[in-house]
Amino acid sequence: MITISVCMIVKDEEAVLKRCLDSLKDIGDEFIIVDTGSKDRTKEIGKEYTDKIYDFKWIDDFAAARNYSFSKATKDYIYVADADEILDEENRNRFITLKQTLLPEIEIVQMFYANQLEYGTTYNYDKEYRPKLYKRLRTFHWIDQIHETIELEPIIYDSDIEIIHKPTKSHARRDFRIFLNLIEKGEFLSKKLVNMYSKELFIAGTEQDFLQAKEFFLKVLEDDKRTIDEKKDARCVITRCARIEGDLHKLLKNSIKGVVDDNPASEICYELGEYFYSTKDYKEAIIWYYNAAYEANSNLNIHYGGDYPLRRLSDCYTKIGEIEQAKIYEQMAKEWEMKNKM
């Protein structure tokens, strides 16, 4: 049977830490708790479960804190837990069975992460796989009978274990502050982080968040080293900023480039619909909301290709007096919501 180090990074988690640790009893062989500056009873609660509690100065870098927690682990595998997660009894039993039967060649175990949309900031689906259990020490081996090479891809097992995310608040304000601090310090944001920043804006951002991000995304658009996908994300953000500021020239400049793309973003079509709706040109707005729902694909937030434009189509048809058509689109929006509540 394998042994497991449970590694956590925490800060002010007194409201949720106990329920998380209780759900991991009989699973973790050691608990590593890295505290990044709690001012509540978090560390006191943690001491009821382990003496391996470490302080780590917070530097706006989750990866650094995770790496530090990993450096303290000593068991065969490392399970990454957040304080606002729990395992119910059914999934605790599944995890215990996995611990007893996991083949030693497995290097990463993925588990379902459920309830992502409550206070969600970057995820479009309520349940999806995430890597959660990692082999601490990796053994490299050679493959291929001739022109041999080292196997680099990890061996991954997709389990049936479901982790329930039960947050008590949104982390959007924290995340936007970190993004802005990184930008101010001149840190390079990877392609992944450009995408995550864009997603978080379209899922949880306020108008102020968009405007504070504007200069960064303008630089992404102007940077020849950035990829097409990064510029597509940036164009969605800049188009929203232009509408917020009432800058018709920038709105059209960015949106036109976006809609002539081979795969236009629903977010940009939706922004054009919002512009024409605000000018009471409802028939023109209908064209763009229809495009958002049926002719384009959502790039950052699936709602912009689904219930958002469908509801706006209902609003437009109500405004022009076509009530039956409005009812049809309202019903379609409700059906889309039910279908995509995953």
- For residues 217 and 156, membership in a common domain is answered with no
Query: What is the helix, strand, coil percentage profile of the chain, to 5?
Result: 50, 15, 35
- For residues 183 and 159, membership in a common domain is answered with no
Helices (H), the chain: 17-23, 42-46, 62-71, 89-101, 172-184, 191-204, 207-222, 228-245, 248-259, 266-278, 282-290, 307-319, 323-339
Model confidence pLDDT, tens digit, residues 263-273: 889 999 999 99
- For residues 266 and 315, membership in a common domain is answered with yes
The pLDDT assigned to 148 comes to 83
Report whether pLDDT(141) > 90. Answer: no
Lowest-confidence segment of 104-108, 168-172, 223-227 by average pLDDT:
168-172
CATH number at residue 54: 3.90.550.10
Report whether pLDDT(3) > 60. Answer: yes
The pLDDT assigned to 169 comes to 81
Residue after which a domain boundary falls, among 165, 200, 224: 165
The pLDDT assigned to 128 comes to 87
The pLDDT assigned to 268 comes to 95
- For residues 179 and 143, membership in a common domain is answered with no
Q: Decide: 28 and 79 in contact? Cβ < 8 Å.
A: yes
Name the pTM for this structure.
0.86
- For residues 83 and 11, membership in a common domain is answered with yes
Which range of residues forms the domain containing residue 247? Answer: 172-339
CA 64, CA 312: separation in Å to the nearest integer?
A: 44
- For residues 230 and 149, membership in a common domain is answered with no
Report whether pLDDT(120) > 70. Answer: no
Residue type, 170: S
Mean pLDDT of the chain: 93
Model confidence pLDDT, tens digit, residues 39-84: 999 999 999 999 999 999 999 999 999 999 999 999 999 999 999 9
- For residues 221 and 116, membership in a common domain is answered with no
- For residues 157 and 203, membership in a common domain is answered with no
- For residues 317 and 210, membership in a common domain is answered with yes
Q: Decide: 8 and 82 in contact? Cβ < 8 Å.
A: yes
Residue after which a domain boundary falls, among 130, 145, 165: 165
Residue after which a domain boundary falls, among 140, 165, 190: 165
- For residues 214 and 161, membership in a common domain is answered with no
Report whether pLDDT(342) > 60. Answer: no
CA 203, CA 170: separation in Å to the nearest integer?
A: 11
Query: In which residue are the tokens 């588990």 written?
Result: 111
- Residue 182 tokens, joined: 């990184």
**How many independent structural domains does the chain possess?**
2
Q: How far apart are the first and last CA of the chain?
A: 34
The pLDDT assigned to 119 comes to 58
Model confidence pLDDT, tens digit, residues 18-37: 999 999 988 999 999 999 99
- For residues 95 and 213, membership in a common domain is answered with no
